[in-house]
Structure formats: C-alpha cells, structure tokens
Amino acid sequence: MSKQWDFLMKKLVGTNRQHLVSLLLPGAQYESELNPQLQSRTIEADLLYNILWNGQKVILHVEFQRRSDNNMGRRVWEYNAQTSINTGLPVCSFVIYLKRDRKIVESPYEIVLPDNDVAHHFNYRTVKLWELPAEVFKQADVSGLLPLLPLTRGTAKRELVEDMITSLDSADKNELLALGFAFAALVLTKPDDRNWLEERATMLEDILEESWFYQEMVEKGLAKGRQQGLQQGLQQGLQQGLQHELQKLRKILVDITDERFPEIGQETLSQVQTLNDEDVLHRLIVKMSLAKSAQEAEQAILAAVKPNAQ
C-alpha cells in the first residue's frame, strides 16, 4: 500500500513541480530534477529538485510517507547528507505524511555519543496533510496539488471530494480529476463511502476517461497484460476492470428501469445481475430508455436473460 501512495504522489508532483516547491518553500523557484538514486549504496530518495531559494542554489528533498516509521529521522539524515556530499549544495529535507497514523517521528534527528555529546544534529521539516486546511491548495501557485484535498483537515471527506471536483473545474485542471479520485479512494474505505465515491465517479466518467492519468493507467495495464500473457493479464487486471464495468452497467440498467417502470417486480430486476455481456447490457439500457410500457420493458429483460440462463 505504501508504494501505491508513493506512486500517486510522484505522478501528481511530476506534472506540478513548481507548485510543490511553492507549497513547501514560498518564493523558491524550481529549476530541474536530480536523479534520486544516491551513490554511496543502494538507497533512493523519493524526490530531489534543484531549486533557487532566496537567490541561492539549494536541493529540495522530499519523502512521501503513508505510515509512521521509527527510523524516519535517520533515513532522512542519510538522504540529506549523501545528497549534499554528491552535489556540494545545501539540502532542505521535508517528510510529507499523507494520512494520520501512529506517533510521527519529529525533527531533529541526533546521534549522541556515550558522554552525551551530540555528534550529529539534523533538522528536517514535516508536513501532515490531515492538519492542513483545504484552502492551502486553492492558491493559484499550488493549484496543481488540488487532488490532495481529500487528505486535508476535516472528517467530512465526501464534502472534501466535492470541493476538490469543484475546485479542479474552476482552476481548469480537470485532467487531474482521476488522480483526485485515486487519492479519495485511499481514504474513503468504508463500504457506504466506497459506493458513494463509485457513483460520483460514474457521473464524471467522460471527464475521467479524457484525463492523461486515466489513459496512462489503461495503457500500462494493457502493456502489463501483454507482457504477462493474456490469461494472467486478464486475471490480474482486465478481468477486474471488466467486472467493474459490468456492475456499473447493471446498476444503470436497474436504475433506469426502476425509475420508468416501478411496477416491474424485483424478481425480474434481480435477474439483470446474471448478465455478463457488455453489448447485451448496452442494448438493454437503450431499450429501457425507449420502452413505451412496463410489459415491453419486462419482455426485453426476460428475452436477454433467457439465453444467459441456458
């Protein structure tokens, strides 16, 4: 799960590097990205940027953390020190905690000698997203980070999701909506919340499918399926996506039928759940929208279900 958070955060800030810099160090200017792999041994920082801060060249180092880590201070110190050694530049380190967890390891990190003298004293900065107000991300210079709104302060996460949708639209950044729903799905984990989020995403399906993130994920899923072979790819990715799509179509079909012809019995409607053909479901949705009577609608459902039962 922690890799999933890292992946989402790197995707988000990768398209809005200056916005992340502006959030963490107001007034600093992004210049370029460094290779996050450090040379001393096999360690890799989450993010390293060359920035210009108060007229001075500095390295911005950021770690994204889903969970608290008792060794966090030492890890950040190692990344910071090695980066400074490699570049000869001062390094400013941040740890961005994405979701409330156990006790957070706070700065500073110290290495104390047996005589209580401090051999190393290292300061780093922490950002806890659940403590930030949503308004922080509505500033123009950090609006590229609006998908993080569901992770900000407040227990009314559905309202934060709605706020995110509206804010992205106002900022003309609907291409980030798919990322926003991905973050929301990681905090809205209760069954009722998950159902609500799915229904909300369905309402915005056209916008989501046009986003670069959605298209990139589809392409990666297809590529992974090709690499692993058709059978394994279907089992691990495509099958899950197909089942999700089928369930969504079944729900649309039942909702339309129930709205137009409430007199059709639940026994008939329940049979819709046995349909596993996208084309059949699409045709039925059209028929339910055009049917002139409950009898016509019910006959169309039964005709579609009957071959499926054989």
* Burial class of residue 265 (count of CB atoms within 10 Å of its CB; 0-12, 13-18, 19+): exposed
pLDDT at position 297? 87
137 pLDDT above the threshold of 70: yes
Comparing 102 with 95, which gets the higher pLDDT?
95
pLDDT at position 177? 81
Angle at 96 between CA 67 and CA 56, to 5 degrees: 150
**Which residues have CB under 8 Å from 265's CB, separation 6+?**
none
pLDDT at position 212? 56
DSSP state for residue 256 in the 8-state scheme: H
List helix spans (H) across 204-277: 205-210, 212-228, 230-233, 239-260, 266-270
pLDDT in tens, 79-94: 999 999 989 999 999 9
If you average pLDDT over every residue of the chain, what do you get? 81
**Look-up of token digits 């941040």:** 94
Task: Say what the pTM is.
Answer: 0.62
Its sign, for the CA torsion 140, 142, 148, 153, is: negative
Comparing 130 with 239, which gets the higher pLDDT?
130
> CATH topology for 2-131?
Trna Endonuclease; Chain: A, domain 1 (3.40.1350)
- Ordered by start, the domain boundaries in the chain are 2-131, 136-213, 240-309
